[in-house]
A and B are shown apart, each in its own frame.
Chain A
C-alpha cells in the first residue's frame, strides 16, 4: 500500500508545495521582493548596461555589430554645437524651473491648507496638470503658443490692446512664442513649472498638515504673525520634505524629453535643445546608436550626483 492511499497522509500528496511556506519569513520575503527585483533588473538594469555597451561601440541602425571604440563616441559628441547647447539648456531649464516650482508649490500649499469654501474643487483643479498625460498637456500648450492663433496673443491684442501696429508690444499681430530663442526657452520652462508644481504642492501640503497644532498654537501665543510663522516655523519644519519634493521634480524635469519634443523639437536652431532630445535626434532619428547612447550617458552622473546630494541634505536636516 502506498502512503497516498492512507487517508491521514493526504498532505503528503501535495508535498511539492510546502504547507508552512507562509510561515517562513525568508521565503516570503524573497517572494515579495522578486517582482520588484525582476522589474528593476529587466527594465532598468539591462537597458542601462546595453546603453553603456552602445556608448563605447560603433553600433548604428544600419550596422548592429558591436565594435569597441573606447571613448571615441564621447569625444565626438562633445565637440558638436547641438550637444553643447543641449548640455547648457538641460541645466538652465532644470534650475530655473525648480525655482519656479518650489515658489509656486509653497504658495499653493499654504493657500490649500487654509480653510475656505470650495477647497476640494481647487484641490481637484490643482491635481489636473499632474494627472494629465504629459503629451496631452503639452499639446494644449502648443496651441496656446501657436504662431497665428495663440489665445494668449488674442487676449493681449483684443482685450488689453498691447499687441498689433502702434502698441506697446510692437507692430506684429503675433508674438510667435516658439519662434524666438528667449521666448521658446521661457515657454519650455513655463510648461515644466506648470506640470511639476501640483506634485510638489501636494507633497508640501502633506508636510504642512503634519506639523502638530500645538506648535502652531505656541507660535501664536509667542506673538508670531503669519509670515514669521511661515518662514521661521513652518517652512524650516518641512524642509526635509521640501528637499525630497525638489529631488523628484529635478529628476523628472532633467530627464524629460516630451515637453521640448512636442513644443519646439529643440528649435529654433539649438536654442531649446536638451540632452534627452539631442540623444533621441542623434541616436534614433540620426541612426547613430553609439553616439545617442553616449549623449544619454551624460545624464547619468548628473542625476546620480543630484540624488546623492539631496538625500544627504534631507538626512541632515531631518527633525524629530
Chain B
C-alpha cells in the first residue's frame, strides 16, 4: 500500500520549473532515496511533500488524503534539515518537546515527558537532555534532530541531506545507524541526497532526478546495472560509465567490466584494442586511462582492474581488452535513452 503518492507534480518559480511532472508512489515502510546533482529539484520535491511549498500543478497524497493546500502541521510528516535546524536557545529536551506542544496534542505533562524520553532513548541521547545545541557535536545534533522528528510519530519521515554536515568517518557510521534504525521502526522515509554512495547504501529504491524530472526509479542494483539513459549511466558509478559514440548509438560499459580479453569468456564478448595512456594505482584497484581503436582519441576510456587481475600493464602499450555482451548498453545518440530498450 502506498503511503505517499505524488501525481504529476510540477513547481514553477518564476521562469524556472524546479519540479517538472513528477509522479511517484512510496509504500509503507519503504526507504526511498531521491538522488540528483544540486539544482535538480530534489529538495523542492521534498519541500512539496512537507507542505513548505505548494505545487503549481498536480496532487500530493499522504495516507488517503489529498494534501494540496494543507500546511505542514496537518500532514503527519516530520522533517530533518541539512543544518538540523535545532532551536539554539532551547535545551535538547525543549527542542524535542517543541513539536508536541506546537501540534497541540492533547497530552498531560507526564505523557509528554514520557514521549520525549522515549524519543531520546531511541537515538541514545538520554544523557544530553539538559544541554544546549551549541554544546553538542555534529553527530549528537543530528540525533537530536531525529528524536525531535520522531517524537510526534509521523507517517512519513523526510530527511534532507542529513549526513552531509558530518565528517567522513562519522558519516559512514551514521549511515549505518540510520538504516538499521529505519528498518527497526519501519517508518516510511524519504531521503534526499546528492551522494550516490549514500543513495546506493541506504535506499530500498532510488529516484534519480535531473532538471526537475525523474530520470529513473528502481532498486540500487537496477539503477546501476540497467540505467535508462546516459544521465543515469554517468551519474552513478565512480569512475563513471564509458560511452563510445558509433554511427547509430552510444556504446556504454562500466570500467570494471572492461578487462583483458584473456579474463573474459570469449564466446559472448566484444573485443577492443586498448591503448593505455596512464595508470593510477589505487591500492585495491588499478585505473587505466586510454582510448580504443576505431573511436576518436578524445573519447577517453577507462578500465578498472581489481587487484586479482594482475596482468602487467605498461603505459604507451596496447592490449587486447574485452567486454561481455551482457554488460554493454546501447543509448540513442540524440535522446540519450536506452536504444536496446533497457532491461537487458
Contacts and interface: CB of A to CB of B under 8 A. Distances in A.
Interface in A208-230: 212, 214-215, 217-225, 228
Given A218-B79, A237-B88, A237-B89, A223 B99 contact: yes
Interface in B74-94: 77-79, 81-83, 85, 87-90
Interface residues of A, number: 21
A220 B88 contact: no
5 contacts: A215-B87, A221-B73, A222-B102, A223-B104, A224-B98
Interface in B43-99: 47, 50-52, 71-73, 77-79, 81-83, 85, 87-90, 98-99
Nearest to A317: B89
B148 interface: yes
Contact of B52 (A217, A223, A320): A217
Contact of A223 (B47, B85, B102): B102
A222 B89 contact: no
A228 B99 CA distance: 11
Nearest to B101: A228
Given A223-B72, A228-B102, A217 B87 contact: no
Interface of A: 212, 214-215, 217-225, 228, 232-233, 236-237, 239, 317, 319-320
B133 interface: yes
A224 B72 CA distance: 10
Given A220-B71, A221-B79, 8 more contacts: A214-B83, A223-B73, A232-B98, A233-B87, A237-B89, A239-B89, A319-B134, A320-B88
Contacts of A220: 52, 71-73
A320 B85 contact: no
Contacts of A219: 87, 98, 102
Nearest to B87: A233
Nearest to B135: A320
B85 A214 contact: yes
B103 A223 contact: yes
Contacts of B133: 320
Contacts of A214: 81-83, 85
Contacts of A320: 88, 133-134
A215 B85 CA distance: 5
Nearest to A232: B98
Contacts of B77: 221
B122 to A, nearest CB: 18
Contacts of A237: 87-89
Contacts of A225: 73, 102
Given A212-B83, A320-B133, A221 B52 contact: yes
B85 A236 contact: no
A233 B72 CA distance: 17
B343 to A, nearest CB: 39
A231 B90 CA distance: 13
Contacts of A233: 87
Contacts of B73: 220-225
A223 B71 CA distance: 9
Contacts of B85: 212, 214-215, 217-218
